[in-house]
Structures are given as structure tokens and as C-alpha cells.
């Protein structure tokens, strides 16, 4: 393992430059924030690039990079499903959902549900959405610890988490949606240098694609089978990513922050184009590390350790700094989304200045809570992300989509049944280790309830 003594001045200089730029952009963007509306993105000042940065900056985080490399290291190409689901979500967000979302009078996904299906459904959606996002925030904290441990092997978990919380706070607390969007664009450029460049380097060191397929380490079928963990687990993972992102407040907020609906649409579609190469590159790095470092102390070190041991000094620092920014940026986007739900759906503060202060203090409190929860155990980073996405997907996506596209089609009682039964099914399946993917079971319950409601409505019409 790389030790602190092996990190020379150039490596540290690269990391410091990147992190200083992060704080600097966050502080610069704060000059455009004068109240809670600017902070949350409600004043609609963002162009296409800022919208793209806000969406990509939240999606492309620890799960897309460190988590994908970790899963590829352990299972192979099945690690692609998070990228596939996220890419599909961005395309749907841009091509289908952006117009109705932008024109809707409500600023949160749960507010849209509340308007159509009543206050109880809205409150339920808010609570589940915020809880699912908090689980996703825990995944980012686990990712951050993995990077800090490569840079400073002697650093304790609490020291790594404290530093992460401080950097995320600098990222989002000052600039809000403007900071997330501006740094998101900066982060994408760095990630393409670090992760895409690293993926190309791993492929070059393999000698191309053919040697990968003939490598004796990958004789087990699972490494090149896209459903290695079981069809329900892997397809369920893709669906979790797709529907979870669609209904997440972070992406709703990014769409609504656009200067006009065209900016929002272009930003979302552009985000879809940025995701696949990052996911594919992280996957190649994970496979390379399985061949060359099969005895890593933890599989979530695959990506940061590759960058620390296979790139030139200054680029090593920049690359590790880019991965840190990826994790920090995703954490910031998720934390801002939870804060928007709390301030928009639970605690409404009319005074702009007080609302801004409440949002900033609330974000710091959320970060501290996620850091504390991450100490419960590391686990597989993508598993945390998929659980958080699955809870949001089954509880909110049906009600949210029905409210946007088919108002008046389903009753309040039907949607309340879906929003309580589906997430309960997921949690029970997880707790009892049911062999079929929890999300699949949650969707099955949702479809059964919705199907029964439509059938009952049709029978009533025929009788009338």
C-alpha cells in the first residue's frame, strides 16, 4: 500500500490545487446567493452547463466511480448497471419529464404529489424521499473514507469523515445550487482526466480487450456475465438507479433551476452523455486491479489505489483530488436535496435571510448525521446507493408520474396504499434476505395495487 512517505510534494500539490479550486468556486458562487430562493435554485438563473453540472455532479460521485470499480473488482462487468440506469434516468428526465416539471408550480417532487393526492401522501413522500437520500449520502461518506485512507493510511475514520464534512460544507453551504452547478462542470473535466484517463491506461496496460477475455484470473464465468449477481439483483439495480434518480429531489431541483425549459432539457440530456464513459472506465480499472492487486485490504480501494500507484506524481494528486471532488459534489447535491425537502415540505420560513440560514445549518447537521451513520459498517458502496434509490423509486415514482401526466386518474386512497405497501415490502425483503430483488417485489406490489384500482374503476364504469 502507498504510504504517506511515498507521497511527495508534487502529489500533495495536485490534491491541494484541486481542493483549493473547489473551495474557491464555492465561495465565488456565494456572491450570487442573496436569499433562500437563490440558494435552492428557485430563482431560475442557471444555464444549460450549470444544469448539466448540477445533475452530473450529483450522479457521478462515489457510486459511479469508487463503487463501480469496487463491484467490477469483485464481480466483473455486472458493475455497469448503475451507469446504465443513471444514463436512462437522465434521458427520461430531459426528454419526457423536464417540461411538466419545469412548468409545475411546486418546487419539490413531494410537493407535486401533495398537490394531486393530498397532504398525507405529500408528507409520506417527503419522509421516504429524504430517508432514501440520507442512505445515499451515507454511501458517499464511505467512498470518501476510502480515498482519504489511500492518501493518509494512518488517518482514522473519524478524521477522514470530519475533513469530508468540512469540504462538503464549503462546497454547498455558501453557493447552494449555483455552487453545485459551477463546481459540477469543473468536476466533470477533472473526472474525465482522472477516471477516463485511468480507464484508458488500464486498458493499455492490459494490452487491449482481447487479453482481458483470455486472462486466467477471469476464468470464472461471473466476471463477463452482466447478470453475475442474479437477474433480479442486477436488473433491479438498473431500475433502482433509473426510477430513483427520476424521483429524487436533487434532479427535480436541477431541472427547475434552469433559465428556461430548453436549458433544463439540454442540461439533462448532456448529463446522460457524460455518464457511460465514466462507468466503463471505472469498470476497466476494477478489472485491472483484480488481476494485478488481488489482495487489496478492501475492495473499495481499487480505484484510489490504482490512481495512487499508476499515474505520474502531479497527475496522481490531481486525479485523487478529482475523485474526492466527485464524492464531495455528490454529497453536496444530495444534502441540498434533503434540505430543500425539509424547508419546502416540513418547515416553511417566509423570511429569505432566515430561510437561507436554516438551509445552511440544516445541511451541516445532515452531513454530521450521515457521517455518524457511515460508521455502522462499510459494505458495498453501490448496495447503499441502490437501497436509497429503490426506496425513493417505489414510494414516489408512481405517484409523482401520475400527478404530472395523468392527474385525476388515481384516487388518494390508491396512492397512499402504493406509497406505504411498496417501501414496506422492500424493507421486509431486505430484512428477511428474500431471494428475489427487493425492488422487483416492491414494483410488483405497486403494479398489483394500481392494476386492481384500474380494474375496479373499469368495472364501475361498465356497471354505470
Q: Quick one: which H or E segment has residue 179?
A: helix 176-191
Residue 39 predicted with pLDDT over 60: no
Tens of pLDDT, residues 206-249: 888 888 888 888 877 788 888 888 887 888 888 878 887 887 77
Q: What is the mean pLDDT of residues 71-85?
A: 90
β-sheet bridge partners, residue 258: 46
Q: What's the grid cell of residue 284?
A: 476497466
Q: What is the pLDDT of residue 95?
A: 93
- pLDDT over 70 percentage in the chain: 85
Cα–Cα distance between 441 and 147 in angstroms, integer?
A: 35
Residues whose CB falls within 8 Å of the CB of residue 116, separated by 6 or more in sequence, listed in order: 399, 402, 403, 407
- What does DSSP assign to residue 321? H
The residue among 246 and 261 whose pLDDT is bigger is 261
Tens of pLDDT, residues 363-421: 888 888 888 888 765 555 556 666 777 777 777 888 888 899 988 888 999 999 999 99
Q: What is the pLDDT of residue 307?
A: 86
Which of helix, strand or coil describes residue 456? helix
What is the residue extent of each domain of the chain?
A: 4-406
Residue 451 predicted with pLDDT over 80: yes
| Phi, psi of 258, rounded to the nearest 5 degrees | -65, 150
Asked whether the beta carbons of 264 and 255 are under 8 A apart, the reply is: yes
Residue 144 predicted with pLDDT over 70: yes
Cα-Cα-Cα-Cα dihedral sign, residues 144, 150, 151, 156: positive
Radius of gyration of the chain (CA): 22
Asked whether the beta carbons of 37 and 352 are under 8 A apart, the reply is: yes
Q: What is the pLDDT of residue 36?
A: 45
Stated pTM of the model: 0.79
- What does DSSP assign to residue 26? H
Q: What is the pLDDT of residue 299?
A: 85
Which band of pLDDT confidence, cut at 50, 70 and 90, is reported for residue 94?
A: very high
Q: What is the pLDDT of residue 2?
A: 43
Q: Residue 433 — left, alpha, or beta (φ > 0 → left; ψ -120 to 50 → alpha)? A: left
| Phi, psi of 435, rounded to the nearest 5 degrees | -65, -25
Which band of pLDDT confidence, cut at 50, 70 and 90, is reported for residue 269?
A: very high
Which band of pLDDT confidence, cut at 50, 70 and 90, is reported for residue 286?
A: very high
Cα–Cα distance between 439 and 433 in angstroms, integer?
A: 13
Tell which residue, 186, 233, 248, 196, has the closest CA to residue 59: 248
Computed over every residue of the chain, the mean pLDDT equals 80
Burial category of 271 from C-beta neighbours within 10 Å (exposed 0-12, middle 13-18, buried 19 and up):
buried
Cα–Cα distance between 388 and 82 in angstroms, integer?
A: 13
Cα–Cα distance between 133 and 386 in angstroms, integer?
A: 11
The residue among 72 and 250 whose pLDDT is bigger is 72
Q: What is the pLDDT of residue 212?
A: 86
Residue 5 predicted with pLDDT over 50: no
Residues whose CB falls within 8 Å of the CB of residue 97, separated by 6 or more in sequence, listed in order: 246, 255, 404
Within 13 Å, how many C-alpha atoms sit on residue 50's CB side? 23
Query: Could you give the angle at the alpha carbon of 144 between the alpha carbons of 28 and 136, nearest 5°?
Result: 90
Which of helix, strand or coil describes residue 375? coil
Tens of pLDDT, residues 299-329: 888 988 898 888 777 778 888 888 887 787 7
The residue among 154 and 378 whose pLDDT is bigger is 154
Q: What is the pLDDT of residue 97?
A: 92
| Phi, psi of 45, rounded to the nearest 5 degrees | -110, -5
Q: What's the grid cell of residue 90?
A: 437522465
Asked whether the beta carbons of 147 and 324 are under 8 A apart, the reply is: yes
Tell me the CA distances in angstroms from 341 to 21, 30, 74, 319, 351, one per residue in order: 29, 21, 36, 33, 17
Q: What is the mean pLDDT of residues 425-436?
A: 83
Q: What is the mean pLDDT of residues 96-111?
A: 85
Cα–Cα distance between 355 and 320 in angstroms, integer?
A: 35
The residue among 284 and 328 whose pLDDT is bigger is 284
Tens of pLDDT, residues 172-200: 655 444 555 566 677 778 888 888 889 99
Q: What is the pLDDT of residue 287?
A: 93
CATH 1.10.260.40 applies to domain 4-406: no
Q: Quick one: which H or E segment has residue 163?
A: helix 157-172
Cα–Cα distance between 9 and 158 in angstroms, integer?
A: 25
Q: What is the mean pLDDT of residues 92-100?
A: 92
Asked whether the beta carbons of 241 and 85 are under 8 A apart, the reply is: yes
Residue 146 predicted with pLDDT over 90: no
Amino acid at each position: 500500500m502507498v504510504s504517506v512517505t511515498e507521497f511527495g510534494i508534487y502529489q500533495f500539490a495536485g490534491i491541494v490545487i484541486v481542493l483549493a479550486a473547489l473551495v474557491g468556486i464555492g465561495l465565488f458562487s456565494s456572491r450570487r446567493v442573496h436569499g433562500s430562493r437563490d440558494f435552492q435554485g428557485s430563482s431560475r438563473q442557471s444555464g444549460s452547463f450549470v444544469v448539466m453540472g448540477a445533475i452530473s455532479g450529483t450522479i457521478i460521485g462515489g457510486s459511479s466511480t469508487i463503487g463501480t470499480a469496487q463491484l467490477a473488482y469483485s464481480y466483473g462487468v455486472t458493475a455497469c448497471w448503475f451507469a446504465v440506469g443513471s444514463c436512462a434516468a437522465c434521458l427520461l428526465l430531459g426528454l419526457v419529464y423536464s417540461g411538466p416539471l419545469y412548468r409545475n408550480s411546486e418546487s419539490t417532487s413531494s410537493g407535486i404529489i401533495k398537490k394531486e393526492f393530498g397532504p398525507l401522501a405529500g408528507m409520506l413522500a417527503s419522509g421516504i424521499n429524504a430517508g432514501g437520500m440520507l442512505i445515499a449520502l451515507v454511501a458517499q461518506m464511505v467512498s470518501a473514507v476510502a480515498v482519504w485512507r489511500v492518501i493518509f493510511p494512518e488517518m482514522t475514520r473519524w478524521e477522514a469523515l470530519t475533513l469530508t464534512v468540512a469540504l462538503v460544507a464549503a462546497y454547498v453551504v455558501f453557493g447552494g445550487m449555483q455552487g453545485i452547478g459551477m463546481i459540477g462542470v469543473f468536476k466533470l473535466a477533472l473526472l474525465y482526466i482522472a477516471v477516463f484517463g485511468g480507464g484508458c491506461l488500464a486498458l493499455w496496460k492490459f494490452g487491449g480487450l482481447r487479453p482481458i477475455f483470455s486472462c486466467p484470473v477471469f476464468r470464472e464465468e461471473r466476471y463477463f456475465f452482466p447478470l453475475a449477481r442474479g437477474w433480479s439483483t442486477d436488473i433491479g439495480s438498473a431500475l433502482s438507479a433509473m426510477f430513483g434518480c427520476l424521483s429524487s429531489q436533487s434532479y427535480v431541483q436541477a431541472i427547475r433551476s434552469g433559465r428556461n425549459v430548453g436549458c433544463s432539457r439540454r442540461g439533462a440530456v448532456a448529463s446522460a452523455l457524460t455518464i457511460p464513459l465514466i462507468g466503463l472506465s471505472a469498470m476497466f480499472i476494477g478489472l485491472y486491479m483484480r488481476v494485478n492487486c488481488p489482495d487489496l485490504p478492501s475492495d473499495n480501494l481499487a480505484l484510489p489505489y490504482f490512481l495512487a500507484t499508476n499515474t505520474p506524481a502531479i497527475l496522481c494528486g490531481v486525479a485523487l483530488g478529482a475523485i474526492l471532488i466527485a464524492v464531495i459534489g455528490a454529497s453536496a447535491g444530495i444534502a441540498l436535496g434533503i434540505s430543500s425537502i425539509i424547508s419546502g415540505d416540513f418547515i416553511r420560513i417566509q423570511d429569505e435571510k432566515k430561510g437561507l440560514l436554516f438551509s445552511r445549518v440544516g445541511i451541516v447537521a445532515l452531513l454530521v448525521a450521515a457521517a455518524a451513520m457511515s460508521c455502522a459498517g462499510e459494505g458495498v458502496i453501490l448496495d447503499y446507493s441502490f437501497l436509497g434509490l429503490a426506496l425513493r423509486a417505489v414510494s414516489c415514482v408512481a405517484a409523482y408520474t401520475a400527478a404530472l401526466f395523468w392527474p385525476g386518474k388515481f384516487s388518494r386512497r390508491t396512492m397512499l396504499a402504493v406509497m406505504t405497501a411498496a417501501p414496506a415490502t422492500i424493507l421486509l425483503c431486505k430484512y428477511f434476505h428474500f431471494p428475489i430483488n427487493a425492488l422487483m417485489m416492491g414494483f410488483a406490489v405497486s403494479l398489483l395495487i394500481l392494476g386492481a384500482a384500474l380494474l375496479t374503476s373499469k368495472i364501475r364504469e361498465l356497471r354505470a
